[in-house]
C-alpha cells in the first residue's frame, strides 16, 4: 500500500500518467536529500520545481479539464491527482502546497460560466503558471460572511476592488488570483480574477518563515473589468464552498505522503541502531509502536482512496462525498499527527537532526489539520449527516474502485450547496459484519452501543447548541464512517486479515478514548454517561497476528532511502 519511489511499479490506465509520476520522482531523487534539506533550511523558493513542472507540462495535464486541454492527456482525474499529491508531499510539504493552492485557485474558474477566463486559465497552465485562492482575511479568517473585500461599480460597467487578503498561497506569483468579495452596491457575493503583476496589487509580505509563500496582499482601487468577474450572488457562494469541498480533500493525501517518507526513515534508523547490545527493533514497545504507526498509515490511505471513489462517482442524486471529504480532511490529517508522534517516540533525538526528512515532517504534519477549516469546523459539518447515516439508510449500487482515466466533470458542476441533512447513505452494517475478526467484532459492538445511545439518550437542545459537547459526540461518529470505508477498501485491495485486525485494535482504543472524553463533559447526562462506560472496551490480543504484521513492517527497514 505504501509509496516506494525506488520501486514505483504501480499500474496506470495510460502511459502519460505513469510518466508524470516517474518524472516527478526522478526530479526529486536527482535533486537529492542534501539539497532538498538545504533548500528547506534556507527558505529557498522552489523555482526549480516550478520550471520542471512547466517544462514537462505537468500541472497543465493534471489540472485542466479535458474540454479546455490542448493535450489529449489533459483531464481533471481525482485518482491521478491523489497519486501526485502523495508524491509531492513525500518529498516536502512546500512542493505540495504550491500545487494545492493552485487547485483552490482554479476551482472558482472551472466552476464559473466565464468561458474567456477558463480559456485564459488553460493557457496559463500551459505556460507553467500557478494559481491562488483569495478567500481568507486577517480579521475574519475564512469566515466568508464577513469578507471586507469590496467591488464598487463604475459608470463604464467595470469595478474598482478595495480590500486586503491574508494567508494566500502563491500570492507572490499567481497571474490569476480567484478573489472573493462583495459588491458594494448590492452586497452580493462575487468572485473575480486579480493579477499579481498589476500596479494596484500590493504584495505586503510572506506571513510564514518557510519556502512557501503564504501572502498578504492589498488591492487599492484595483480595476476589474466586467469580463474578469467569475461569478456573483448564489453562484459565487456555491463556488466558494464547492471549491473547498474539492480542495480540502487533498490535505489528507499530504499527510499520507509526509508520514510515508518519515516511516521509511524511522524504520531504517531503528533497525540499524543498537542499544544495550540489541537492535532497537528488538524492544517490544518499539515493535508495538511501529505496528500501530503502520496500521494507522495504511488505514489513512485506504480511507482516502475509498473517499475518492465516491467523489469521482458523485451526482446530484448521490452526494455521499460531502461527508467523506471532510472526514479525509479532519480524520486522516489528525491520524497523521498520531503516526508522527509514534515514530518520534521511537527515534527520539534523531527526529531533531537537521539532515533528516523527519525534522521537516514533524514540523509540517501539524499544519495539515489546521488548514482549509480546522478540525472542529469539519466535525461541526460532519455531524449534520449523523441522523441519516444511522437511522435512514438507502440502497445504492455497490461503488466500484475508480482508478480509470476519467475526467471528473461533476466536481465543477456540484450545484447549490446546502441540504446536507437530506443526503442519504448506504448502510454501514453489512460492511462491518463482513469481517469476522475479534477486534472488528468488538468495534461492531461499540458502534451498536453508540447507536443505542443516540436513540435512547438523544442529545438535548442545550447539548446540540454546545459546540464543545457536539465535537466530542462527532469524534465517535467520525470513527464509524472512517472504519466503514476502510473495511470496504480492505476487501477491494485484498488487505491481510491480521493487518485489518491491527487497524481495528486502534479503532477500539480510539472509541474508548473519545467515549471517556464525552463521559467527562459536565453536560453529559447520567444515562449518556452509562452508555459511554459501555464503550470503554479492552481490545483483543493475538500475538501470532501481531507478529506477522511486525515482520511485514520490519521488512521495510531497507526498502527506501532517499538519494543523497
- Residue pair 230/237 in contact (Cβ under 8 Å)? The answer is no
Give tens-digit pLDDT for 195-209. 999 999 999 999 999
The pTM is what? 0.96
The more confidently predicted of residues 415 and 298 is 298
Mean pLDDT (the chain, rounded) = 96
Which residue, among 434, 416, 404, 241, has the nearest Cα to 325 in the 3D structure?
A: 241
Q: DSSP string covering 400-411, please? A: PP--S----GGG
Write down the pLDDT at residue 416. 87
Write down the pLDDT at residue 372. 63
- Go through the domains of the chain in sequence order and give each one's CATH number: 5-126 (1.10.540), 132-232 (2.40.110.10), 248-385+421-554 (1.20.140.10)
Mean pLDDT of the region 350-374: 90
Mean pLDDT of the region 247-254: 94
Give tens-digit pLDDT for 73-115. 999 999 999 999 999 999 999 999 999 999 999 999 999 999 9
Dig out the grid coordinates for 505 from the structure: 485494535
Give tens-digit pLDDT for 44-76. 999 999 999 999 999 999 999 999 999 999 999
Mean pLDDT of the region 448-458: 97
Does residue 444 register a pLDDT over 80? yes
Give tens-digit pLDDT for 284-323. 999 999 999 999 999 999 999 999 999 999 999 999 999 9
Does residue 418 register a pLDDT over 90? no
Beta-bridged to residue 315, according to DSSP, are 318
Does residue 171 register a pLDDT over 90? yes
Mean pLDDT of the region 551-557: 98
The more confidently predicted of residues 377 and 387 is 387
Does residue 433 register a pLDDT over 80? yes
Please, what is the Cα angle at 198 between 192 and 200, to 5 degrees?
85
Does residue 148 register a pLDDT over 80? yes
Ramachandran assignment for 548, one of left (phi > 0), alpha (psi -120 to 50 degrees), beta (any other): alpha
Give tens-digit pLDDT for 369-384. 887 656 667 787 888 9
How many Å apart are CA 320 and CA 316, to the nearest integer? 10
- Residue pair 521/472 in contact (Cβ under 8 Å)? The answer is yes
How many Å apart are CA 549 and CA 520, to the nearest integer? 35
Write down the pLDDT at residue 374. 63
Which residue, among 227, 24, 214, has the nearest Cα to 104 in the 3D structure?
A: 214
How many Å apart are CA 368 and CA 207, to the nearest integer? 17
Q: Which residue has the cell 507540462?
A: 57
Judged by average pLDDT, the poorest of 77-81, 114-118, 411-415 is 411-415
Give tens-digit pLDDT for 488-502. 999 999 999 999 999
Mean pLDDT of the region 511-519: 98
Write down the pLDDT at residue 338. 98
Mean pLDDT of the region 354-362: 96
- Residue pair 219/200 in contact (Cβ under 8 Å)? The answer is yes
Does residue 486 register a pLDDT over 80? yes
Give the SS3 label for residue 320. coil
Amino acid at each position: 500500500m505504501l509509496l516506494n519511489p525506488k520501486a514505483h511499479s504501480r499500474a496506470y490506465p495510460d502511459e502519460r500518467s505513469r510518466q508524470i509520476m516517474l518524472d516527478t520522482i526522478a526530479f526529486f531523487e536527482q535533486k537529492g536529500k542534501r539539497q532538498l534539506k538545504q533548500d528547506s533550511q534556507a527558505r529557498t523558493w522552489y523555482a526549480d520545481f516550478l520550471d520542471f513542472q512547466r517544462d514537462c507540462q505537468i500541472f497543465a495535464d493534471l489540472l485542466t479539464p479535458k474540454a479546455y486541454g490542448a493535450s489529449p492527456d489533459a483531464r481533471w482525474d481525482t485518482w491521478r491527482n491523489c497519486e501526485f499529491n502523495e508524491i509531492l508531499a513525500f518529498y516536502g510539504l512546500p512542493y505540495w502546497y504550491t500545487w494545492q493552492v493552485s487547485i483552490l485557485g482554479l476551482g472558482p474558474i472551472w466552476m464559473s460560466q466565464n468561458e474567456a477566463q477558463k480559456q485564459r486559465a488553460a493557457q496559463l497552465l500551459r505556460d507553467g503558471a500557478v494559481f491562488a485562492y483569495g478567500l481568507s482575511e486577517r480579521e475574519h479568517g475564512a469566515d466568508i460572511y464577513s469578507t471586507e473585500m469590496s467591488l464598487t461599480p463604475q459608470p463604464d460597467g467595470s469595478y474598482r476592488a478595495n480590500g486586503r487578503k491574508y494567508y494566500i498561497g502563491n500570492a507572490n506569483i499567481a497571474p490569476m488570483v480567484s478573489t472573493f468579495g462583495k459588491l458594494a452596491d448590492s452586497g452580493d457575493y462575487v468572485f473575480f480574477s486579480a493579477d499579481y503583476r498589476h500596479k494596484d496589487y500590493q504584495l505586503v509580505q510572506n506571513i510564514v518563515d518557510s519556502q512557501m509563500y503564504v501572502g498578504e496582499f492589498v488591492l487599492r482601487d484595483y480595476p476589474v473589468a466586467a469580463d474578469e468577474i467569475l461569478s456573483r450572488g448564489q453562484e459565487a457562494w456555491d463556488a466558494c464552498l464547492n471549491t473547498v469541498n474539492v480542495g480540502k480533500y487533498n490535505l489528507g493525501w499530504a499527510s499520507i505522503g509526509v508520514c510515508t517518507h518519515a516511516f521509511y526513515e524511522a524504520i531504517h534508523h531503528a533497525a540499524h541502531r543498537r542499544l544495550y547490545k540489541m537492535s532497537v527493533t528488538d524492544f517490544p514497545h518499539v515493535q508495538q509502536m511501529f505496528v500501530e504507526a503502520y496500521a494507522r498509515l495504511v488505514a489513512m490511505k485506504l480511507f482516502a482512496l475509498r473517499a475518492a471513489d465516491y467523489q469521482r462517482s458523485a451526482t446530484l442524486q448521490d452526494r455521499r462525498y460531502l461527508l467523506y471529504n471532510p472526514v479525509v480532511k479532519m480524520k486522516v490529517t489528525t491520524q497523521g499527527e498520531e503516526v508522527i508522534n509514534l515514530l518520534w517516540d521511537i527515534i527520539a533525538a534523531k527526529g531533531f537532526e537537521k539532515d533528516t526528512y523527519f525534522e521537516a515532517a514533524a514540523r509540517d504534519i501539524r499544519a495539515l489539520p489546521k488548514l482549509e477549516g480546522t478540525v472542529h469546523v469539519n466535525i461541526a459539518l460532519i455531524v449534520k449527516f449523523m441522523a441519516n447515516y444511522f437511522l435512514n439508510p438507502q440502497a445504492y449500487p455497490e461503488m466500484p474502485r475508480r482508478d480509470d482515466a476519467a475526467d471528473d466533470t461533476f466536481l465543477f458542476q456540484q450545484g447549490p450547496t446546502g441540504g446536507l441533512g437530506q443526503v442519504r447513505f448506504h448502510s454501514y452494517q453489512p460492511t462491518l459484519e463482513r469481517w469476522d475478526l475479534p477486534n472488528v467484532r468488538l468495534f461492531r459492538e461499540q458502534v451498536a452501543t453508540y447507536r443505542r445511545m443516540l436513540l435512547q439518550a438523544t442529545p438535548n437542545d442545550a447539548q446540540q447548541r454546545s459546540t464543545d459537547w457536539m465535537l466530542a459526540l462527532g469524534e465517535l461518529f467520525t470513527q464509524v464512517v472512517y472504519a466503514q470505508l476502510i473495511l470496504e477498501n480492505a476487501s477491494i485491495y485484498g488487505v491481510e486479515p491480521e493487518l485489518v485486525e491491527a487497524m481495528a485494535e486502534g479503532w477500539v482504543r480510539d472509541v474508548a478514548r473519545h467515549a471517556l472524553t464525552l463521559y467527562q463533559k459536565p453536560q453529559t447526562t447520567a444515562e449518556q454517561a452509562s452508555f459511554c462506560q459501555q464503550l470503554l472496551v479492552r481490545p483483543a490480543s493475538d500475538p501470532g497476528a501481531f507478529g506477522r504484521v511486525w515482520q511485514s513492517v520490519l521488512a521495510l527497514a531497507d526498502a527506501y532511502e532517499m538519494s543523497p
